[in-house]
Amino acid sequence: MPKAAVLLINFNATSLIPIIEKKLYQNFNLQMHQFIPNIDLTEIYSEVRDQYYSTKLLEYSLKYYNDYDKILSLTDFDLFVPVLTFVFGEAQLNGKAAVVSAHRLYPEFYGLPQNEELFLSRLIKEINHELGHTYGLRHCQNFECVMHSSSNVDEIDIKSENFCDRCKEKII
Ligand SMILES: [Zn+2]
Ligand SMILES: [Zn+2]
């Protein structure tokens, strides 16, 4: 069975890890191995933006966890790439590494009450989406498909956590 390293980088929703483990297995046939890496965050943090550079996180994960078939980093840090104000995540197209930020998935971020079910559903969608890219999937036109692109949480909430049939074929 292919192995996934899951790196918890200042990720606080650890009670959800067993569910994530189950989803990785169900959706990608991945066996999860969990790590809490000791990263030098100064290389990843931008003081000007008060955010973390997602591409550098991917590079870090590839450098130290390259033995794994897939490497998924989960973080509560707010992520960015230079051309965008923020990103929910980033992944290598047809590669190994993906990162997902939970920062903007919490309803509390928008001043709304805590809602673990909603948060979990968003998190699973983003994990499926970013990992989907590592299996070579690009953005999908199907509004229900998890590979549909989302630039805000409302767009995440509209789509399902599932891959459409065409996208699913490529994962297997
Ligand atoms: Zn995407
Ligand atoms: Zn699709």
Which CATH number does the domain housing residue 8 bear?
Answer: 3.40.390.10
Rg of the chain over Cα atoms, rounded to whole angstroms, equals: 15
The pLDDT tens digits for 104-154 are 999 999 999 999 999 999 999 999 999 999 999 999 999 999 999 999 999
What ranges in the chain are assigned the alpha helix state H? 17-28, 54-64, 116-134, 153-158, 165-171
Starting from the CA of residue 151, give the closest ligand.
Answer: 1
Distance 120 CA to ligand 1 centre (A): 18
Distance 162 CA to ligand 2 centre (A): 8
pTM of the full structure = 0.97
The pLDDT tens digits for 11-35 are 999 999 999 999 999 999 999 999 9
Distance 22 CA to ligand 2 centre (A): 21
Q: How many structural domains does the chain have?
A: 1
Give the tokens for residue 149: 């692109």
Which domain, by its residues, includes 28? 3-171
Query: Nearest-5° angle of CA 27, CA 29, CA 35?
Result: 95
